Amino acid sequence: MRTTVSDTLPPRVRRSLEKLGSDLRDARRKRTLTVQMMVERVGVSKATYLKVEKGDPSVSMGVYAMVLFTLGFSGALADMADSREDSTGLLLDSSRLPKRVRPTKVKPQ
C-alpha cells in the first residue's frame, strides 16, 4: 500500500496547515475577493484553490506561495525559515566554536 504525505503528517503540522488555510480564506474575504477571482489570479483550478483554503498538504508549495503573493503576503514566505531567526541553529553554531584559538605557525621558506 502506498503512503502519502497526508498519512504521515504529524498532527501539529496538520493543524498548522489547516490554520494557514483558514487564515488565507479570512484574508481573501477581508479583501472582498471571491473564490473565482482568486482562481483567476493564482492560475489554478477551483478545486485546487479550495484545497488551499482547507490546508491540504497535497497542494504544492508554489501554489501556496502564489496565494500568499496574490493576497499581499509576499514577504511571509521568505521570512519563514530565516537563518538569522533560527534559535536552534544559532545555538548549534555557538556550541561548535573552538574552546581556544592559537596563532598559526608560519613556516620558514
Is 39 within the bounds of a domain?
Answer: yes
Is 22 within the bounds of a domain?
Answer: no
- Split into its structural domains, the chain has a count of 1
The Cα–Cα gap between 83 and 4 comes to 29
Is 94 within the bounds of a domain?
Answer: no
**DSSP secondary structure letter of residue 72:** T
Is 57 within the bounds of a domain?
Answer: yes
Name the 3-class secondary structure at 15: helix
Amino acid (1-letter code) at residue 39: V
Is 56 within the bounds of a domain?
Answer: yes
Is 69 within the bounds of a domain?
Answer: yes
Is 87 within the bounds of a domain?
Answer: no
Above 90 in pLDDT, residue 79? Answer: no
pLDDT per residue as tens digits for the range 6-59: 778 999 999 999 999 999 999 999 999 999 999 999 999 999 999 999 999 999
Grid coordinates given for 60: 504544492
Which structural domain range is residue 54 located in? 33-75
The Cα–Cα gap between 19 and 8 comes to 18
Is 67 within the bounds of a domain?
Answer: yes
pTM above 0.85, yes or no: no
Mean pLDDT, rounded, for 63-78 = 91
Per the model's pLDDT, the better-predicted residue between 89 and 21 turns out to be: 21
